[in-house]
Amino acid sequence: MKGYKFSVRGVNEIFEEMWHSLPPETKERILKETSEKLKVKIESIRNYIYKKRPIPLELVSSIVSSLSPEKQTEIWSKIFKKFSTITYSHSKSVKLPKVINEDLVYLIGALRDAYIREKGSTYYILFGYLHEDRVWIDNILDPIFEKLFGEKLKKIGVKREYKLITSKAITSFLKETFNITPAPQRNWKTPEIVLGLPLELQKHYIAGFWDADGGCPHEETYSSKWFKPYVKFTQSFNNENSCPPLEDIQRILEVMNITSTITKLPRHGSRKSPAFDLIISKKESIINFWKEIPVRHPIKAQRLKNLVNFLGLSSDGEHIQP
């Protein structure tokens, strides 16, 4: 299929089995939607489903995203077990994770703090290497990239430092599999795979998202007469009235008895896009968040422990020791 550079070996039999299980009307709908989306002939799509040619990753993602969230999770789990390596033309192969696990789902949430670029021959995932995020990137994200893909983040810059992955294969795999839209970030929605995952894995997505774009008060603010405890997520989205990524997190949190509100932030000079806060302010919900969400950012995790300790409770009813 002209224009495709990324392909995955070993998944055709999974697609053929899936295809035979679908009702005829569903098949026709998927073929039509995929044909229109990718601008390819329906017959070309059928050839990839039934024949033993390596199936393009973009086609994998497009077809699977047409299914229900539960079916998507089932199919992707089977596909991941078949993964070995992925190759971009004229670049080296990289290994792929064999299962949708806690580290991978956490990374997808953490990418909210990244800049992802895919333009021409330029592909990269970039993190700002600044202040308290240095310890997070070095001790959490770097080992995750190496464990999942066999690649480490590289440091660049002098006055302003960054860490990035320049692998075209990794960038494309994450973008296509998890429906991640390259910059600007305000167009990102919650990946369809995440919405269909079990709650225990969704917790790790929320943890990665919070470690990237969340926060809670610093300990030195506790003595202020205006102090109010909170745990919050902040996100820009290309919509004046709603922020679907935060709304999805809010629904998942409610299952764990964590209540929250979503508020639109006022515009100012540096904020050109609509932005929203998801705020957890009730004491019981803050404590439940600490109990349920496996945050990993070393500094933010300690700050959250300090807040829960200040509120007077821990998971076992005792004060938490820093």
In 3D space, the residue among 212, 265, 209 whose CA is nearest the CA of residue 240 turns out to be 265
Whether the CA torsion 27, 33, 38, 41 is positive or negative: it is positive
The pLDDT, as a whole number, for residue 10 is 65
**Cβ-Cβ contacts under 8 Å for 24 (sequence gap 6 or more):** none
Question: Given this model, what pLDDT does residue 84 score?
Answer: 62
**How would you write 122-150 as a 3-class SS string?**
EEEEEEECCCCHHHHHHHHHHHHHHHHHC
Q: In 10 A of CB 178, how many CB atoms?
A: 21
Kindly state the tokens that stand for 213: 């774009």
DSSP conformational letter for 219: G
Residue 269: predicted pLDDT: 64
Question: Hey, what are 296's tokens?
Answer: 């990993």
Alpha carbon distances (Å) from 135 to 129, 155, 224: 9, 13, 28
Tell me the one-letter amino acid at 105: V
pLDDT tens across the length of the chain (322 residues)? 344 445 666 677 777 788 888 899 988 998 998 888 888 888 888 887 776 667 777 788 788 888 887 788 888 888 887 776 665 555 567 777 878 899 999 999 999 988 888 766 677 888 988 888 999 999 999 999 999 988 889 888 877 888 888 888 788 788 878 878 776 677 788 988 898 888 999 999 999 999 999 999 999 999 998 999 999 999 988 888 899 999 999 999 999 999 999 999 887 766 677 899 999 999 999 999 999 999 999 999 999 999 999 997 544 444 444 4
Closest CA relative to residue 305, chosen from 284, 290, 318: 290
Which are the contacts of 219, defined by CB distance < 8 A and separation ≥ 6?
Answer: 303, 306, 307, 310
pLDDT at position 177, please? 82
Within 10 angstroms of residue 145's Cβ, the number of other Cβ atoms is 20
Cα–Cα distance, 228 to 224 (Å, whole number) = 9
Task: Give the per-residue pLDDT at 281.
Answer: 96
